[in-house]
């Protein structure tokens, strides 16, 4: 009976490691979505979420790793589109019309 417990212990540590990478990817993906207006924070956390999500997928954590990877990818796309909208098209979200003044 003790040999069964000892044989299962290393496998459980691998699962915990993959869950850790998945949780890190999920948290960084959420941070990148929440701070989407701050481009540097959003892109940095989204890139880390994508990296950690792919590591979690390689280690076997399908749920959290995939979610972090998807959130990071969505955040990168939204941040890029927001940057294009605000900078390239020269549009301001808080523009006060001239007729209002």
Q: Which whole number is the average pLDDT over 6-33?
A: 75
| Spatial CA neighbour of 55 closest among 20, 94, 95 | 20
Query: Which residue has better confidence, 90 or 45?
Result: 45
| pLDDT tens sequence across 35-77 | 988 888 999 999 999 999 999 999 888 888 899 999 999 999 9
| pLDDT tens sequence across 77-88 | 998 888 887 777
pTM (predicted TM-score): 0.71
Domain ranges of the chain: 11-100
3-state secondary structure 21-61: HHHHHHHHHHHHHHCCCCHHHHHHHHHHHHHHHHHHHHHCC
Give the pLDDT of residue 31. 95
pLDDT surpassing 80 at residue 14: no
Q: What is the CA 18 to chain-centroid distance, rounded? A: 16
Give the pLDDT of residue 16. 72
Give the pLDDT of residue 36. 86
Give the pLDDT of residue 1. 54
Residues 83, 51: Cα–Cα separation, whole Å: 22
Contact 69, 54 (CB under 8 A): yes
């Amino acid at each position: 009976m003790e040999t069964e417990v000892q044989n299962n212990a290393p496998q459980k540590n691998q699962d915990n490691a993959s869950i850790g990478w998945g949780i890190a990817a999920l948290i960084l993906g959420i941070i990148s979505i929440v701070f989407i207006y701050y481009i540097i924070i959003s892109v940095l956390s989204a890139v880390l979420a994508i990296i950690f999500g792919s590591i979690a997928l390689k280690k076997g954590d399908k749920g959290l790793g995939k979610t972090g990877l998807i959130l990071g990818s969505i955040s990168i796309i939204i941040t890029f589109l927001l940057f294009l909208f605000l900078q390239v098209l020269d549009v301001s979200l808080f523009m006060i019309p001239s007729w209002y003044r």
